Amino acid sequence: MTPAEIVERALAEDIGTGDVTTDLCVPAARRATGRFRVREEMVVAGVELLPLLYDAIEFQVDSGTLLHPGREIAVVRGNARTLLTRERVALNFLQHLSGIATLARKYVDAVRGTNCRILDTRKTTPGLRQLEKMAARAGGATNHRMGLFDAILIKNNHITAAGGVHPALNAVKSTLLPVEIEVRTRAELDDALACGASHLLLDNLTPSEAADWIGHIARRATVELSGGITLETVRAYAESGADFISVGAITHSARAVDIHFRLELE
């Protein structure tokens, strides 16, 4: 689903047969200016959607910009009814996506100075994955695969269903897609390395266990860590020598940030 389709669905959901309050209270020909301002420190995301909602926009910042309270994101001008009717949809997107970007930036800042990159995941709101991954990227995270179609990630249940690490990796040898495999034990780890696996996922290890496993891998493959890694622990995991850390919380647990909209009559 494209951003334009997502916005169109959001407008249809909210407006339905019409904005009865605005249509009754506001003269049809009245013109106005609206200002989007932030009320807390945040990394803004989603400003690319505003042209899908308003015709006349003055952007004050780009997505990915760190803002302090009081800063303006954008100024929109036009028919007062249109500005008011689309206000909530615009704020919903900006608040949600900026929350994701803000949390992503916190994780990225926490591992700064290491060689580790923060990845997002597929733990996204159904229908909003493209926008949420765009927001994670605005916060400095690296996008993992978009879906089940653009990369191969062999996880524990795939290994079980395939009959083991060897059968699973042998089955994907001819693919041109990136291949990653999750290993749960040292035996699976050695099996994967023996099969030539170049990208390993290690899940639910402690930082010390991760450092031990990564030392054993000895750069024979790139390593991604995942599983309950928080802002408080991510630095220790990054210092284990991991190449990547994937964090589902960036998209599934980000808090919507405080942005408000003020209307001024022209």
Report the catalytic residues. 88, 123, 155, 182, 203
Choose among 134, 244, 127, 232: nearest CA to 180.
244
Q: Phi-psi category of 70—alpha, beta or left, where left has phi over 0 and alpha has psi -120 to 50?
A: left
Angle between helices 129-138 and 87-110 (to 10 degrees): 50
Q: What is the 3-state secondary structure (H, E, C) of 133-175?
A: HHHHHHCCCECCCCCCCCCEEECHHHHHHHCCHHHHHHHCCCC
Q: How many residues does the chain have?
A: 266
Answer for the pair 118, 237: CB distance below 8 angstroms, yes or no. no
H or E element that contains 259: strand 259-265
